[in-house]
Amino acid sequence: MGRKIAHILAICTTISVIATANGEVRQHGIALLQNSGRQPLPQVTVMVSGAAPATSDSHGQFSLHFATCNEGDAVRTVEIGKTGYELVNTREVELWNISETDTFTVVLCPRGSLNESRRRYYKLGEDRYRSLYQQKLEELDRALADRQIIEQQYREKIIEAGEQLQRALNRLEEFCDRFARINRDMLSELDRRALALLDAGDIDGAINVYEEAHILETFNEKRQLLDSIATQKSHVADKIREEIRLLEQSNSPQSIARRDSLLHLLETTTSH
Amino acid sequence: MEQRKYRIAIAAVFLPILLISSLLQAQVRQRGEVVLQNSGRQPLAGVQVRAMGAIPATSDAAGHFDLHFSKSRPGQLLLLDEVYKDGYELVNEKALEQWTVSQSSKLPIVMCRKGALAAAQEKYYEIGRSHNMERYADACRQLDEQLAQNLLTEQQYNARLDKLSADYVKAMERLEAYAYALACYNRDDLDQMSIDALTLVEQGRLDEALEKYRDTQLGKLLQGLDFRHERERREMEAMIPSLRLNADLCCFAGGEENLQRAGEIYRSIALSDTTNASYAIDYASFLTEIAINLNEAQQWLSTALRHSTDSLQRAELYTGLGLLCTYIPDADAALRHLQKAVTIYEALIRQKKYSEDAYFNMSYTTYAIAESRYWLLMGKIANAANIMTKGVDYANKGFGLQPDKYAYPYLVFVSESIGAFHEFFIEYKLKTAENLQILKSLANAAAVVAQCTDKKQRIKTAQWLAGCYSTMSVASSNWMQAYESDLYADSCLMIVDKYMELNPVLFIKLKGECLLAKGQNLILSKDYPKAAQVLVETYDILKDAPYATKCIMNTLNLLSIASISLPEEKALPYSRIALEYMRSHPLSVDARKMLDVYWAYLFTRTMSGKELTDCENMMLEMLDFIKKNDTSRNWLRDSHIKQLQYMLVGMYHLHGKHFTDREKKRQVLAAAIDIVGLYPQISDMEQNQLVIAALWEEK
């Protein structure tokens, strides 16, 4: 009897060893409704290559079991969907790598709502560009009338303004899509406020939110702070190296031990 | 696998419409200072500093110098070739190895008198040596005592003695490097604690020196700084999504101020971590598409390249650089970058994971477009057609593997190839039926694919497809297939009319081009009234459109040609419209086409006898224009000379009573005679001149 149990145990151990060697990974995921306050979406089918299809439950949660893939591999999606809905965060989904710890989030919205948002933003942008162009033309007309510019410059600037307009319009579709796909539930308070203003048609107000928050200035200050901390670190590291030299020369066991711990410290603190 | 996040769709990013480039030179000035070691910061003048990529500099009386780098990347390492002054030597060479070129930080160079370093090294060597010897002797003595007191066995004694000896030897071996390191310290740069410690070392009091360091608790200090560093860095990273949204809103809003701000944001993000390829790429994209600062975009792409380890991404970055250099223009650099890109592609294609990957195949098509553009701009059209032919296989493969995803890039590729092949066939006079068929099948492919593209790009899709049809309309017209040309023009117009409401600016030009093609076809089939009607409609649509001047000019040129065969109530106003526009847009005018406009204006008036007032002045203007602009003397033919005679006859005999200014008449006739004389290849030159001269007599 004992031998049988031992035999079974041996087999079980082998099996589990094989299983982990092949990298059986479980990817946890959740399906959410866009701009809904993180409402979970049930009945979303998730089909990716390398795992059996999964469907999200009433809490929007689902699990993907990868038999032969490993942690860190790229997930190739075949289809993610639900009738009457479409996938919003296509880009993040495209770039997802398998992970046991991070949750694979898929965001969906009712079919057609992306298109509607895009159209709204498009109109907003186009009206704005046209009025900017008109303003520019009027400005140039005035400048010409006041003899601030000569005929040739005037013509050149008109052409330039036209080209700017065309460039702006060419870019417009891309921006509209980007804005439409943002899931406001995932945003910071600041971003949410800005987008709310954009949605209300107040583009300048949206930009102003950031100006008032001095976000760029704060970022630049932090950048400088980071640089100065880096410089300080560099100085301290230099001094530590001075100490290490002396320790090596002293060569006593305590010195060598201290030197080793200092070396380790130098290695593990982030280098630049 | 992190690298996948940084793959960029170059097709959408790097197809600049404009050829304007900014000529900002990326000069970096690295300031520096040369001081004498341990001298209280005494400056050293007359030191020659040579670094790779910079003009050599010499330090002035204050020890200052400037290194000017003509081309520099952010984060570039300073590579010192030489630092020289007779009688002196460089002390801090090692520290300078890691220096990055910077406008803000001053490069510190420390020198000492020749031989001083060696002397200091000897001094420390001696101190270290006697210290080591003393300690070794002490330790041996201790061991002997222990042995004598029977605290150790013979074996233990020998083992420990061996270890002591080994340590002693090691310490002595390290001594030289240690002594050198100490000799290189510049007391002027050390703080008081380090100076005190160094003094203790010189006095042989190593242990006390070490105690000083221990008391400073450098380890704790470093850990604290590191912790703060990490925290700040994470906080900064957390701000980046908001910053990006801010930048997006600014770009969306448009206007100079907003776009500038967007640029500042992208720049700050890129500077916050110069080793982050993706930040560099984002900024480069902005510079290319929005700021149109191709030179700086190039630098940032190079920075991204330095920190990119993914082969496919590198190939795409080289492609992007090639495209930028094509437009800057810097032909040599463009070719170099493109060659590097294709080398990588050719290496990757041998791996199955790439050759069977849709993204890889479409990425190659982007490269093909870039190379094709290069050749087209260099005038080597055959090479352009060649690379696009190669690209077709990849496009078909990529699209076939994942049609929904890659429909749009496929459409872009097909459109570009229609353009390239069309130019190729025209240039090499290959207007055969088979070649027109090639273009047609490409256009069909475009139509099919256009239906599969994502809704989010429907306007762009429509633009490309309409562009295909427009090119096909022109091509068919060039191949003398007027009926087909009209069909394509109508297909284009259908698309244009559908999207015109949504975005007039983008589609107006296409509409104009189509109508122009139709007008041209009507002229070729000699239906002048209809042609004129279409052309006037075209002009009306285009005249207020920005940047459509070339198309307007072509329209008016054709309108002038058509107007000659029209009844005077149409001919006169049309030719006037044309002339007025052309005269007020001298910058955009094609000289040969201008001739047609002048000609039509004068012909219609002199034949009908109406609106003769400014005919003499226009005649003079036209004749002068011909003289100045027809440098090869091939504009005028026999028919032109005959018509010129008719015009002058019309002016001075049929309607002579309008022209009373004798002096003017003399000028006109003289100019006409002069012009005829410039075309000796036309028969009966002298006879023609006599006919004109005869007009001088009043009839």
Residue pLDDT, tens place only, B600-659: 999 999 888 888 888 999 999 999 999 998 888 888 888 888 889 989 988 888 888 888
| Residue among B36, B185, B225, B89 at smallest CA distance from A246 | B185
* Full domain range(s) for residue A190: 182-207
Gap from B184 CA to chain A (nearest CA, Å)? 11
* Interchain proximity B265–A270, CB inside 8 Å: no
Predicted ipTM > 0.90: no
Last-in-domain residue among A111, A135, A150:
A111
Determine the pLDDT at residue A8.
47
Q: Are residues A105 and A119 in the same domain?
A: no
Q: Is the dihedral of CA A246, A250, A254, A256 positive or negative?
A: positive
Gap from B23 CA to chain A (nearest CA, Å)? 17
Cis-peptide into B573, omega within 30 deg:
no
Smallest CA–CA distance from B128 into chain A, residue = A249
Determine the pLDDT at residue B658.
85
Cβ distance A190 to A210 under 8 Å? yes
Smallest CA–CA distance from A226 into chain B, residue = B229
Domain annotation covers residue A35: yes
Domain annotation covers residue A156: yes
Mean predicted confidence (pLDDT) in A19-30: 72
Q: Is the pLDDT of residue B558 over 80?
A: yes
First to last CA, chain B: 93
How many Cβ pairs within 8 Å bridge chains A and B?
209
Angle B573-B579-B581 from CA coordinates, rounded to 5°: 100
CB-CB: which of A168, A223, A247 is closest to B210? A247
Tokens standing for B159? Answer: 């083992």
DSSP assignment string, B374-386: HHHHHT-HHHHHH
Determine the pLDDT at residue A72.
75
Determine the pLDDT at residue B588.
61
* Interchain proximity A232–B289, CB inside 8 Å: no
Q: Is the pLDDT of residue B546 over 70?
A: no
Cβ distance B412 to B442 under 8 Å? no
Cβ distance A190 to B245 under 8 Å? no
Tell me which of B5-19, B318-332, B367-381, B627-641 is least confident. B5-19
What is the band of B587 on the pLDDT scale with cuts at 50, 70, 90? low
Q: At B283, is the secondary structure helix, strand, or coil?
A: helix
Q: Are residues A228 and A143 in the same domain?
A: no
Domain annotation covers residue A27: yes
* Interchain proximity B271–A223, CB inside 8 Å: yes
Q: Are residues A136 and A232 in the same domain?
A: no
Q: Are residues A187 and A253 in the same domain?
A: no
What is the band of A9 on the pLDDT scale with cuts at 50, 70, 90? very low
d(CA B576, CA B580): 6
Gap from A14 CA to chain B (nearest CA, Å)? 30
CATH code, domain carrying A23:
2.60.40.1120
| Residue among B434, B332, B435 at smallest CA distance from B374 | B332
What part of B 574-593 touches A (C-beta under 8 Å)? 585, 587
Provide, as residue numbers in chain B, all residues whose Cβ is less than 8 Å from the Cβ of A230.
Answer: 229
Tell me which of B9-23, B512-526, B630-644, B651-665 is least confident. B9-23
For residue B546, what are the contacts with CB-CB under 8 A and spacing of at least 6?
Answer: A133, A158, A159, A161, A162, A163, A165, A166, B505
* Interchain proximity B232–A165, CB inside 8 Å: no
Torsion of CA B83, B86, B87, B91, to 10 degrees: 0
DSSP assignment string, B67-125: EEESS--TTPBP-EEEEE-TTEEES-HHHHTTPBP-SSSPEEEEEEETTHHHHHHHHHH
Q: Is the pLDDT of residue B49 over 90?
A: yes
What is the band of B110 on the pLDDT scale with cuts at 50, 70, 90? very high
What is the band of B251 on the pLDDT scale with cuts at 50, 70, 90? very high
> pLDDT digit string (tens) for B288-302?
888 888 889 999 999
Gap from B269 CA to chain A (nearest CA, Å)? 9
Q: Are residues A12 and A94 in the same domain?
A: yes
Number of structural domains chain A divides into: 4
d(CA B596, CA B612): 18
Q: Are residues A223 and A255 in the same domain?
A: yes
State the amino acid at position B205 in one-letter form: R
Last-in-domain residue among A59, A89, A111:
A111
Q: Is the pLDDT of residue B81 over 80?
A: yes
Q: Strand A85-87 and strand B88-90: pairing?
A: unpaired
Tokens standing for B509? Answer: 């030009």
Mean predicted confidence (pLDDT) in B510-539: 88
Domain annotation covers residue A212: no
Provide, as residue numbers in chain A, all residues whose Cβ is less than 8 Å from the Cβ of B175.
Answer: 249
Mean predicted confidence (pLDDT) in B674-687: 87
Mean pLDDT of chain B: 86
Mutate to test the interface with B, among A212, A214, A239, A266 (most CBs of B within 10 A): A239
In chain B, % of residues over pLDDT 70: 94
Provide, as residue numbers in chain B, all residues whose Cβ is less than 8 Å from the Cβ of A225.
Answer: 232
Smallest CA–CA distance from A71 into chain B, residue = B1
Q: Are residues A200 and A257 in the same domain?
A: no
Mutate to test the interface with A, among B142, B170, B173, B242 (most CBs of A within 10 A): B242
* Interchain proximity B182–A218, CB inside 8 Å: no
Determine the pLDDT at residue B227.
92
Determine the pLDDT at residue B501.
76
Mean predicted confidence (pLDDT) in B144-172: 87
Tokens standing for A197? Answer: 């203003």
Q: Is the pLDDT of residue A19 over 70?
A: no
Averaging pLDDT over each range in B183-192, B315-324, B347-356, which range is the top one? B315-324
Provide, as residue numbers in chain B, all residues whose Cβ is less than 8 Å from the Cβ of A129.
Answer: 254
> pLDDT digit string (tens) for B374-403?
998 888 888 988 899 999 999 999 998 888
Q: Are residues A21 and A101 in the same domain?
A: yes
> pLDDT digit string (tens) for B526-538?
899 999 999 999 9
Provide, as residue numbers in chain B, all residues whose Cβ is less than 8 Å from the Cβ of A195.
Answer: 245
Q: Is the pLDDT of residue B669 over 60?
A: yes
Q: Are residues A107 and A71 in the same domain?
A: yes
What is the band of B345 on the pLDDT scale with cuts at 50, 70, 90? very high
Determine the pLDDT at residue B52.
83
Q: Are residues A148 and A203 in the same domain?
A: no
Q: Are residues A15 and A51 in the same domain?
A: yes
Q: Is the dihedral of CA B229, B231, B237, B242 positive or negative?
A: negative
Q: Are residues A92 and A186 in the same domain?
A: no
Domain annotation covers residue A40: yes
Smallest CA–CA distance from B549 into chain A, residue = A159
Tell me which of A1-5, A28-32, A102-106, B56-60 is least confident. A1-5
Determine the pLDDT at residue A10.
47
